[in-house]
Every structure is written in C-alpha cells, then in structure tokens.
Structure 1
Amino acid sequence: MPPVPHRYRSPWTRTLDLADELRRWCSWWRRPHRPRRAVQTVRDHLAAAPASVCYAFTLFVTYWTLRGANEITDRHIIFSASTNLANMRRDPVQVLVASAFWVDGDFPWEFIITFLTVMAAAERWLGTLRWIGVFAIGHVGATLGTVTGIAYAVEHRLIPLRVALASDVGPSYGMSAVLAALTFRLRGVPRLLWAGLLIVVYVGAAVRGRTFTDYGHVLAMTIGFLIAGSAVFTTRRLERESAAHGLGPGPVLLDEADGGFDQPGGDRPEYRHQ
C-alpha cells in the first residue's frame, strides 16, 4: 500500500505559549486518576526522546565504570578522553566523541536529571536528528574554539604549559547549545527572559571564573543561538516564498512514508508503519 502524504511542519517555527501551557497543565491536574496519568505522561515524555534517555543512561554507565576502577585507571581514562590541547593534537576525532560521555567527579545527578527533563523536552520539540545536530555542533564547535584559544595562549606564553594537559570532559558544551536553541521554542517576553537568563549566567560565570571551560560555555551558548536563529530565519523565508507562489503559508506537503526520527515526536507509535 503506497504511503499516505502528510503535511510536514518544521519545529523551528512551532513556538510555545506558556500561558496556554499552564492552563493545559491545570486542566490535567484537575482530572481524576492523577497517579496513573502521571506515570503515562512520564512514559510518553521519555519514549519521545530516545537520544536523551540513552545519553543519560550512558553517563550512568560510564560513572560506574570509573567507580569500579582503581585511581590510576580512573585518571588514565579521564585524561585519555579529555579534549585538552595534547589529546586534540594527537587524536582529535576520538577525544571529541569520547569526552562527551565521561564525567569527572561525583555522580552526575545534575546531568542525568537535565537530560531526562529539559534535554528530553528539547528533543521532543526538534526531533531526534535535529537535537543531535545542535548538541554535536555545540560540543564540537565550543571545544575547537576553546582549544584554539589555549593553543594561542600557550604559544605566546600567556598561560602555563600545564593547561594544555588539563582534564576536560563532559556534555556541558552540547547542553549549553541546546539550552540556547530552546530560546526559540518560547515566544514574547518569556523568550527574552530565557535568553537574558542564559547570557547573565554564562557570561557572569566567565567573568568570575575566567577559565577556558567558562569561555567554552559562552561560545557553546552563542553557537546555539546562531543555529536556532538561522534555522528560524530560513524556515520563515521558505514559508513566505511558498505563500507567494500560492502554496499557502502552512506546512509543506511531503510524500513521507514514516515520520521517523526527523519529525518531532516521530518515534511515537502513531508515526510508525502499521
């Protein structure tokens, strides 16, 4: 049976009204059987964000891997996965990938909770492939920018050489880019407040800490703003061109057999082949 065409709508122009969302949640709260519906809501939320859930699970596994190793092995794993200047010169691709899945220090509660809540919400909005794209570009772009700055500073003797060997792992650059992209999920005053909050937090941390990691977070945030802003601008221009050619201002009709992972929420059962 041939696939049925359906209208594809880009998530970049699909904004969220917080007042409407609050009314929806109030209505949900007043309905009976809250515990059962809460369990189903959580299941639906996580089922629609497979990449975020897998990432959180991977951080859990890598943490316990380090806990089961002795201190020497622990340090060796962290330093071999770090995106410091020495590793980036030796094997950049491997450390760019590996560094995002290891966390140095205590149990990464804050990362795991953020992935299962905020990152999952972003993935549900963008779709898995776009979410991965924003996260990866933010992680790689901020890392390359930071390493370039370190290389320049070391070459001109502005910082000690030991900085080139420092450990630097974790998913915070990618998360910062996604948080910045989430600005365009909101509309009106909440959008400005969210963007302002991110700028104050990240720039303030960079001014106080003055570390390359803090500067990397600012760069990752900037990358997230640029990606999302460019995507929104391009999408709206395409919509205007479609309207000018008499195709209507709405979503474009595409002959797609399956929403797949590119369509936000497309991994849910209603988007799959029956």
Structure 2
Amino acid sequence: MVASTSSPFRAPWTRTIDPRAELPTAWAWLRRPGLPRRIMPAIRGYLGAAPASTAYAFTLFVTWWTLRGVGNSVERRLIFSASTNLYNMRHSPVQVLVASAFWTDGGFPWVTIAGFLIVMAYAERWLGTTRWILLFAIGHIGATLLTVTGISHAIDRNLIPLHVAVAADVGTSYGFSAVLAALAFRFRGVLRLAWAGTILLVLVVALWVGPTFTDYGHLCAATIGLLVGTIATTFWRKLERTTARNTSAETTQRP
C-alpha cells in the first residue's frame, strides 16, 4: 500500500505575494479575447468569495436608504442611538458597539461601499471570512474602547468640551483601518514596510494637522491591525517551521 501524501497547511498570514509576479498574470488575463464577456463572471466570482464584505456593503446601502426615508429629527435620533460616544458607551456599550458599525452619517457612502467591494473583499479572500470578521471586529471594538477612554480622560481634565461626550460617532472606519493596515502582511520585504509606513504616516499627519477623536481612533485601529498581523504572522511561521522539522525528522527515521 502506498502512503498518501498531503501538502502541509499554510495559514493565510504566511501566504505572501509579489506584485511584480502578479501584474504580468493580470495583464495577460486582460489581453485575452472576449474581455467584455468575461468581466461579469469575474466580478461575481470575486465577490462570491467574499460574502461578508459584500453583505456588509449591501447593509450599509440599506441603512443609508433607511435614513433617507425618515425625517431629520428621526435621523438624528437613530444616529445618536447608534453612536459610540461616551454617554452611550456608559449606558449600552454592547448595543452601540454593534449598531455603530452598520450606519453611516452624511451623504451616500460611495467611497465606503466601493472600499468594501474592492479592498475589504480582497482582504477577505486572502484571510477567509471568519478571520476577516474577527480582525474587523477587533479593530472596531479595540479602537472604539481606546477612543472612548481617551475622551473620558480628556473631559475629566477639562481638555475638551463636555459636548464631545454626546457627539455622533458611527461608521466602519475603525474596522476598515485595522484590516487595511493588516493587509501589509499580504506582501513581503520593502513593500510591506512601505504599506504599513504610509498608512501610519498619513494617520499621524491627519492627527497632527487637525486632531479629532476620530483621527485618534483611526490611528489606534491601524496600530491594532499591525499588532494582530505581527502576532499572527510570527505564530504561524513558527508553527510551520516546527511542523516542517517534525515532518522531516519522521521521514528521515522511516526505514
């Protein structure tokens, strides 16, 4: 009997890509005949492999449409009830932590929805749906808690006005920032450093030029994403090296 062999499992965190090798493949796909006929199936396949990001984008559209169908006073009450401000976090933290991530304030969220269908879908296809959801949730919840803690500290010391405690604060940007920063680990070498450094630089400059508690939250979220990526990548690389050594030792010991 011949023993069956199987390839060792590789975690997404250790599966990096080289854009220089990917671009020729993408260019060759674009140059193949029948591009208009192949676009829609490719889009369906792309989004079909990222169900959470696609559903999230649709949910944001639904909540935006809901706000457009109510009066201004009702809209303000809905946004306030879902805001992760200091007041709500002290009275109903679990409710607002969940609800705030599914509402957007302002006009139609073109950029946010496009970001989920393109960038977040790519991250989900790389990490897998469960890991993507966990990373997004960790970024959203962690950055929110750090931001609220900072606001409470600043109000207690009269560094910011008291009305900040009831300011509207909804949206997906904290979770988005965490996943976007963690995407640095999809690449290797200089590109990884450039990706992470650019994100941190942009967020630090935004916090320096016009500091708001939201800018602070974005920086916290990006830092969380980088920390999660560092821990996950280090853990899985160590585990894969250990597994490879054990497998090699077992193969050597076989008669």
TM-score bracket for the superposition, by shorter chain length:
over 0.9
Offset of residue 189 of structure 1: 2.3
Deviations 1:70-116 (A, max 9, x none): 01100000000000000000000000000000000010001000000
| Partner residue in 1 for 2:176 | 175
Aligned equivalents of 2:68 and 2:30: distance in 1? Answer: 41
**Corresponding residue for residue 187 of structure 1:** 188
- Map 1:1-274 → 2, pairs under 5 A: 7-246=8-247
Q: How far off its partner does 1:159 sit? A: 1.2
Q: Any runs of at least 4 consecutive aligned residues in structure 1 with deviations exceeding 6 A, and if so which?
A: none
CA RMSD of aligned residues (A): 1.4
Mapped partners of 2:214, 2:232: distance in 1: 27
Could you tell which deviates more after superposition, 197-206 or 133-142? 197-206
How far the C-alpha of 1:169 sits from its partner, in A, is 0.3
Q: Secondary structure at the match of 2:247?
A: coil
TM-score (norm 2): 0.93
Counterpart amino acid of residue 115 in structure 2: T
Counterpart AA for 2:119: V
Structure 2 residue matching 1:15: 3-state secondary structure: coil
Q: Distance in 1 between matches of 2:183 and 2:9?
A: 21
Residue 264 of structure 1 corresponds to none
After TM superposition, give the deviation of residue 173 of structure 1 in Å: 0.1
1:245 match: secondary structure:
helix
Distance 2:46 2:248 in 1: 34
Q: Provide the rounded CA distance (Å) in 1 between the counterparts of 2:118 and 2:248.
A: 37
SS, match of residue 246 in structure 1: helix
Between 197-206 and 215-224, report the one with greater CA deviation.
197-206
| AA matched with 2:138 | I
Code of the aligned partner of 1:201: V
TM-score (norm 1): 0.87
- Identity value in percent: 60
Tell me which amino acid in the other structure corresponds to 2:199.
Answer: L
Alpha-carbon distance between aligned partners in 2 of 1:26 and 1:107, rounded to the nearest angstrom: 33
Deviation sequence 1:1-36 (CA, Å, 0-9, x none)? xxxx87532100000110111010111122111111
Which has more helix, going by share of residues?
2
Unmatched 5+ stretches in structure 1: 249-274
1:247 deviates by 5.0
Residues 218-247 of structure 1 deviation map (CA, whole Å, 9 limit, x = unaligned): 000000000011000000110111122235
Question: Aligned partners of 2:129, 2:248: CA distance in 1, in Å?
Answer: 28
Larger displacement relative to structure 2 (182-191 or 47-56): 182-191
In structure 2, how many angstroms separate the alpha carbons of the residues matched to 1:239 and 1:15?
14
Structure 2 CA distance, aligned partners of 1:163 and 1:60? 28
